[in-house]
Structure 1
Amino acid sequence: MSVPDPLPSADPNFGDFLSGKAIPPFAALRAFEVVGRVGGVRRAAALLRLDHTVVSRHLKALEEWLGVMLVDRQGGRVTLTETGQAYHARVSAAMLDVVSATREIMAQGQIHDLRLWCVPGFATQWLSAQIAAFEQTGPGFQVELRPTDRPANLIQFEADVDIRYYGDGWLPQPGGPGLHTLVLARPPLLVVASPAVAQALAGIGGVDDLLAAPLLHEEHHEQWRFWLRGNGLDLGRQPLPGALLWHAHLALAAARAGRGLALANRYLVADDLASGALVELAVPGAQAVAIGSYCMVTRADRANNPAIAQLRRFLRQQVE
């Protein structure tokens, strides 16, 4: 029986690859990747715990090895050239694959604590209590919950799980290359107001009359625009009346203070409705409209991680 040649003869460079001649020094590659990611030699040196002169020498050595310029050095600043940017994207992706593979190997058979980032309103008004209930089940690990408006960079392992609200018709949208997305909840929106404002608008005739009411917006008009469209009032790109509050917390605080009408879902206002701080405004002819979803996003290669899967099952049960 003949033994196949371990080196594919069709690729004349494969032997060079195995001998290491096609791979630059790893220390130089690592320094280049960090410099390109953080945008500076000194910051990269701090992360690598090296002197900045060492990092500079690594960059120079890599350029000499490749025979191309990877960085521009002007006025004490270091920026990637166009060639450097293209090379960095591939080097960074390869190193992240190595990190991911290493973590998965080291985590085999183990369950580690999870880092969960979440949009603040959902985190404080609903998710925090669910995490507390989850801990009572004795999962064998802890969940570190961080409320933040900025989605986690899951590809670079800023967090294990990211949960936030994504509107149907406006950016950003969930997911992307290397990510797994699960729709956790798709709640209909309520029109809410303080008891005094709701009383003043008790005689409202229908959806059209809301345009004369003080509407409260978050960072843009899209929530109200899509809710009105779902109730038969398509205003196109016509500007809507009312103040921009930039955050769901502020819009609901303004509603409690009697400044106008806010859109919210029961995950955000259940306690306010129970206490009477806010009431649902009954709008004749209006129907329940959902304009977005809370999505749970993870790295695709970690979607079936035992800890992530355990938390996902629990949260889906709570939502249902």
Structure 2
Amino acid sequence: MTLEYLDEIEAPRPKPAAHKSTPPFAALRAFESVGRVGGLRRAAQDLGLDHAVVSRHVRSLESWLGVPLIDRLQSGGRLTADGERYHRRISAALAEIAAATSDIMRPGEQGPLKIWCSQGFASHWLVPRLGRFRADSPGLEIEVQPTEAKPSFAAREADADIRYLWGEATPESLFAGVRWIELVRPEVMAVASPDLLAAYPPVREPADLLNLPLLHKKDDEQWRGWLAEQGLTGIGPMPGLRLWYNSMTVEAASRGQGVALANACVLRDQLRDGRLVKVEVGRPVTSGAYFFTTRADRWSHPPLVRLRRWLTQELAE
């Protein structure tokens, strides 16, 4: 049990209020965020509000409905069965409000095409090529937000999300009311600068990589997974520099600080100009895929159609 909910466990069962036909919109928006991001504190960050404010909104909604929406005996703010059913319908309703608002606005007032994607994909792949897409889309304003967070499509935080998901996961596990396509499933490879490799004995098999400085994203799980695909398990401690983003491990590798794991999409330019080279050992490993996701009702929006087709064509090359 987290301290986040200790002050709410003994709350009396809420009683319905019959004097209004709909709950306050702020309470609905707070509840939608709690269910989408998985917790009151995360929802507070998502909405840019204080945790106590979000908590009060949710409790007022429960009082209005007369039904508990959050199981406060469970850590993480898990929704009750009633809460899950209500959340599905509220999410759909907020998405419809956003769609109706977008549809009625004149084209010049709809704002830029907002794209969310990972920092590495943005800096190493998308931005260097975005000029070609803009040249084919005159007058279209574009806003790229590099982030590891997932957007709220219901709140129109993003028009499109480009995200790498590990294993067999798909955007359905993250979003409701969306459509998506798999863009590419690239190889994940070990890379290093030529100078670093020249300073160490030749790497002839995957186990030899353990004798080189390894670069990790947050922890060593990526390296352990990649080496397991090569048949190496039961490995002891794996020291090395720990960085929070793959783009940082790639940058550190290009500066000779160690061996990084990254996929072929974000490495294409560095491999081409020789800043990095692939360590040619082991079998090819494909650990996940990039997905393009939009709200289902915006799937046929012309700028999104053009962006989706352009991404598919560029990544196919």
The answer, yes or no, to whether TM exceeds 0.5 is yes
Task: State which drifts further: 102-111 or 183-192.
Answer: 102-111
* TM-superposed deviation, 1:94: 5.4
- Which residue of the partner structure matches residue 129 of structure 2? 130
> How big is each residue's C-alpha offset from its partner over 1:140-193, in whole Å with a ceiling of 9 and x where there is no partner?
522211111212122332101011211217xx7533432222111221123211
Report the 3-state secondary structure (helix = DSSP H, G, I; strand = E; otherwise coil) of the residue aligned with 2:286.
coil
Matched, 1:307 2:307: no
- Which residue of the partner structure matches residue 212 of structure 2? 213
> How big is each residue's C-alpha offset from its partner over 1:183-209, in whole Å with a ceiling of 9 and x where there is no partner?
112211232112222113352231122
Change (3 A) 1:295 1:37: closer
Q: Distance in 1 between matches of 2:249 and 2:265?
A: 15
- Which residue of the partner structure matches residue 226 of structure 1? 225
Q: Distance in 1 between matches of 2:149 and 2:198?
A: 37
Q: Distance in 2 between matches of 1:87 and 1:128?
A: 40
Change (3 A) 1:69 1:211: closer
Q: Are the aligned partners of 1:217 and 1:251 in contact in 2 as well (CA < 8 Å)?
A: yes
Q: Distance in 1 between matches of 2:272 and 2:84?
A: 55
Q: Distance in 2 between matches of 1:98 and 1:207?
A: 51
- Which residue of the partner structure matches residue 266 of structure 2? 268
Q: Are the aligned partners of 1:197 and 1:258 in contact in 2 as well (CA < 8 Å)?
A: yes
- Which residue of the partner structure matches residue 9 of structure 2? none
> How big is each residue's C-alpha offset from its partner over 1:40-64, in whole Å with a ceiling of 9 and x where there is no partner?
9xx9xx99xxxx9xx99xx69x957
Change (3 A) 1:202 1:187: farther
Matched, 1:29 2:24: yes
Report the 3-state secondary structure (helix = DSSP H, G, I; strand = E; otherwise coil) of the residue aligned with 2:249.
helix
Report the 3-state secondary structure (helix = DSSP H, G, I; strand = E; otherwise coil) of the residue aligned with 1:184.
strand
> How big is each residue's C-alpha offset from its partner over 1:72-91, in whole Å with a ceiling of 9 and x where there is no partner?
xxxxxxx9x98996797367
Matches within 5 A, 1:130-169: 130-138=129-137, 140-168=139-167
Percent identical pairs in the alignment equals 31
Change (3 A) 1:95 1:179: closer
- Which residue of the partner structure matches residue 281 of structure 1? 279
- Residue segments in structure 1 that go unaligned for 5+ positions in a row: 1-21, 72-78
Amino acid at match of 1:293: A
Task: State which drifts further: 186-195 or 274-283.
Answer: 274-283
Q: Are the aligned partners of 2:95 and 2:154 in contact in 1 as well (CA < 8 Å)?
A: no
Q: Are the aligned partners of 1:111 and 1:141 in contact in 2 as well (CA < 8 Å)?
A: no
Matches within 5 A, 1:9-88: 24-26=20-22, 28-34=23-29, 36=31, 68=66
Change (3 A) 1:107 1:230: farther
* TM-superposed deviation, 1:314: 1.0
Match for residue 102 of structure 1 among 100, 103, 114: 100
- Which residue of the partner structure matches residue 7 of structure 1? none
Match for residue 174 of structure 1 among 146, 155, 171: 171
Q: Distance in 2 between matches of 1:196 and 1:214?
A: 13
* TM-superposed deviation, 1:318: 0.9
* TM-superposed deviation, 1:267: 2.7
> How big is each residue's C-alpha offset from its partner over 1:6-25, in whole Å with a ceiling of 9 and x where there is no partner?
xxxxxxxxxxxxxxxx9934
Report the 3-state secondary structure (helix = DSSP H, G, I; strand = E; otherwise coil) of the residue aligned with 2:24.
helix
Change (3 A) 1:273 1:82: closer
Larger radius of gyration: 1
Q: Distance in 2 between matches of 1:250 and 1:137?
A: 31
Aligned residues: 271
Q: Are the aligned partners of 1:223 and 1:291 in contact in 2 as well (CA < 8 Å)?
A: no
> How big is each residue's C-alpha offset from its partner over 1:269-312, in whole Å with a ceiling of 9 and x where there is no partner?
333334433232233xx232221211111122222222211110
Q: Are the aligned partners of 1:29 and 1:91 in contact in 2 as well (CA < 8 Å)?
A: no
> How big is each residue's C-alpha offset from its partner over 1:120-159, in whole Å with a ceiling of 9 and x where there is no partner?
1110111113321111013552221111121212233210
Q: Distance in 2 between matches of 1:222 and 1:86?
A: 32
Q: Distance in 2 between matches of 1:260 and 1:253?
A: 10
Q: Distance in 2 between matches of 1:230 and 1:83?
A: 39
